[in-house]
Structure 1
Amino acid sequence: MGRDQVHPSKDDDGGSAAPEGIVVGVDGSDHSQCALVWAAREAERRRRPLHIVTVYSVPIFAASGLDGGYATVDDSVIREGAEAILKQALDKVAPYDIDVDASVENGDASGVLLEMSESAELLVFGTRGRGGFVGRLLGSVSSALPAHAKCPTVTVPLICADRLGETTDDKHIKAEQAKSGHQPVEHVVVVGVDGSEQARVAVLEAADQAERLGAPLRVVCAVPQYSGSLAWVPAPMDREALFADIRVQLDAGVAWLKSHYPKLTVETQLVDGSPVDVLVEASRHVELVVLGTRGRGGFTGMLLGSTSDGVLHHAKGPVLVVPDREDPRLADRASFGPMLGAA
């Protein structure tokens, strides 16, 4: 059983230590409950502490009348609500064998969580919330975090509540769950690649995650029919030759990855189709989908704003987005053979 601690906001205590381990944003919504459960399980897998945070801001209203000005609302009621949400979250993760602490922060949700990402190992949140605290998600917060966070982020959609043992009263989610039916989750981690350096960084993070889960890693490359960069080609492209060339490069990439993860089971999947559609469909059936923040703009074009952003908006399971960063293991990739998309 982990120990529980609740800390005041930075504004109240004049500064507090930056959270390490796994940070999860909560707002009391069903969406954040799913994120909380996923984060607690991940903290237990990694044997890392869990920091639960909720963020609120005090509304400011324009005063009307001849004495025009601005009026603020006493934040005591809002803060009490935030503290109640934290208490509920701490109770929910009590069965997990993890160290837990929690804090109420005052400010902009995106800014607070982005600041925490500078010291955190992983940042976890739901796709949408109740509109208060950190609940301005998918839109401002959950679009900003994967694109700008300094650490990897995991977005947990409400549609996968049942696989986490959670329930929801959201009629749209319940209708979608009923329509798709109960589908078993394949014990596999999927990573999307496009030959960019960012995708190779994502592959390494995905391999780490697959090892933690004791799961195989599936490296997926989706090739759309045409892209803007190929529109000038005067004759129909020989897609069989293209696929054969990509296959050689994928195999070389697997050989490189296996040199760093010799015990990991790695498989590749080369798909003819839209990368967003392919990866969203994969998210229905696998433990986790992993993406880089952006890519080369060719083949699958893994850049947040197109493929990654599209997957995040429509995913049916948890999605991990890996930020750009240096990794010494990238240096020996070229020695294993041709690289996807390289000149």
Structure 2
Amino acid sequence: MNTHTDVAPRPIDFDPAARLAGVLVGFDGSTQSMLALHYAAVAARHSSRALTVVTAFGATAQIETARSSTTDRSGSDHALEAAKIVLNDARRYLRSHPGPVAYRAERGDPSGVLANLSAEAELVVVGARGRGGFLGRIMGSVSSALPAHAHCPTIVVPRHYQIAAPEAQGRSASPGSGPRPVLVGVDGSQHSRIAALHAAQFAQDQHAPLHLLLVLPSLEGWLDWYPELDAPDQGFIDRRRVQLEDFLHTEATWVRKHYPGLSVTCSVRPGDPAAQLSRSTREALLTVVGTRGRAGLSGALLGSVSRSVLLQATGPVMVVPELHDARLRDQPGPLR
């Protein structure tokens, strides 16, 4: 199927009340998926959502569990039985989880299973690259398949993620501690505003502040390609930065209107957007990006910035697809 068209995809209908799977997490028994399971359970608890744990099985499924030596079963029955064993590991880990949990074993490729089930979820959580991890297999086969094709936001938990001591003891604390913010990359596009709203919701659930970051790309690269252009003086750059800061304050005011009790700050930083956002993942509670930004091609399901952030992140990253959101009716004017 050719996914590179000139027609921008329509926004995905997104009614949280109809997304009964709540927080959906891919689990295959690997260390990476165990981190994702923990992260998803905490997110579900703090947002009062249901938690759905899913493992995929089939001819190519790589489930990390001891295989039964029974030879009188079909391969399909054997794979299903192995999937149930994997889900039992998740049940044991979540035995103290206070909210509702559903466990599902689904036939098919992990990326396809999770993408399909994401239409029933408010949020999907997966482990990052690494042997056996859900995203590790997805990134290796269909580049960034899940974040690009999901019908809801996707959080990718990196292999560097560590469960802090308070969380490890109670398994109920927030994924992160202290005043670390939820950081969202914005660029004035409608899509980035959808990402900002979902970032704000996550920040509110976690009792964390929200920070809006707009990255002002360097002009040096442009001057290399267009030497006939006069290099702008520092005064021009400073004036543009002030304009963008004013614009960001307007964006922050709009977000506060929809999340009145939320602490929202903002900043403009010069540099490469992918590098700046990737760097932010070291300190942020969560870094949030849209699948595509202002410069994104309509046929590109996952833009270069969001793809680079996913590959370079050292902290959790949320990728937000273009969702239908009635709150955009009162959004500020476009960035100029």
**TM-score of the two chains, using structure 1 as the length reference:** 0.77
How many residue pairs get aligned? The number is 291
2:49 maps to 1:56: no
Q: 1:339 aligns to what?
A: 334
Aligned to 1:15: none
User: Relative to structure 1, is the Cα distance of residues 188 and 234 closer, same or farther in structure 2, using a 3 angstrom cutoff?
Assistant: same
Q: Is the 8 A contact 2:33 2:126 kept in 1?
A: yes
| Residues 281 and 314 in structure 2, CA contact (< 8 A), matched pair in contact too | yes
Q: What percentage of residue pairs aligned between the two structures are identical?
A: 40
CA distance in 2, matches of 1:252, 1:283: 25
| Cα distance per residue 1:197-228 (max 9 Å; x no partner) | 10011111111111111111100111221387
Cα pair distance change 1:132/1:194, threshold 3 Å: closer
Distance 2:321 2:83 in 1: 30
| Contact 2:192-2:293 at 8 Å conserved across structures | yes
Greater RCO (Cα-Cα under 8 Å, separation 6 or more): 2
Shift of 1:193: 0.6
Secondary structure of 2:121's counterpart equals: coil
Report the equivalent of 1:323.
Answer: 321
Aligned residue type for 2:185: G
In structure 1, distance between residues paired with 2:58 and 2:135: 10
Alpha-carbon distance in structure 1 between the residues aligned to 2:276 and 2:207: 24
2:54 alignment partner, SS class: strand
Match for residue 282 of structure 1 among 253, 268, 280 = 280
Across the aligned residues of Structure 1 and Structure 2, the Cα RMSD in angstroms comes to: 2.8
* Aligned-pair CA distance for 1:185: 6.4
Which residue in the other structure is 2:268 paired with? 270
Q: Give ranges in structure 2 of 5+ residues lacking alignment.
A: 1-18, 62-73, 169-175
Check conservation: 1:22, 1:121, Cα contact below 8 A.
Answer: yes
Q: Give 1:211-222 correspondences, 5 Å limit.
A: 211-222=204-215
Distance in structure 1 (CA, Å) of the matches to 2:113 and 2:277? 30
Aligned counterparts of 2:95 and 2:192: Cα–Cα separation in 1: 36
Residue of structure 2 equivalent to 1:252 = 250
Written as runs of structure 1 = structure 2, the 5 A alignment for 1:130-145 is 130-131=131-132, 136-140=137-141, 143-145=144-146
Mapped to 2, the partners of 1:59 and 1:316 lie a distance apart of 29
Q: Which amino acid aligns with 2:334?
A: M
CA-CA distance at 1:59 after TM superposition: 5.0
Contact 2:60 2:109 in 1 (8 A): no
Which residue number corresponds to residue 68 of structure 1? none
1:189 aligns with 2:204: no
- Note the 1:234-253 alignment, pairs <5 A: 234-237=229-232, 238-253=236-251
Measured in 1, the distance between the counterparts of 2:271 and 2:215 equals 6
Indicate the residue corresponding to 2:26 in structure 1.
25
Distance in 2 between residues matched to 1:132 and 1:250, nearest whole Å: 37
TM superposition score normalised by structure 2: 0.78
Change (3 A) 1:74 1:329: closer
In the TM superposition, what is the alpha-carbon distance from 1:279 to its structure 2 partner?
A: 1.4
Long gaps (5+) in structure 1: 1-17, 61-72, 167-182
Query: Is 2:218 the counterpart of 1:225?
Result: yes
CA positional deviation for 1:78: 3.0
- Candidates 301, 304, 307, aligned match of 2:305: 307
Asked whether the 8 Å contact 1:297–1:303 carries over to 2, the reply is no
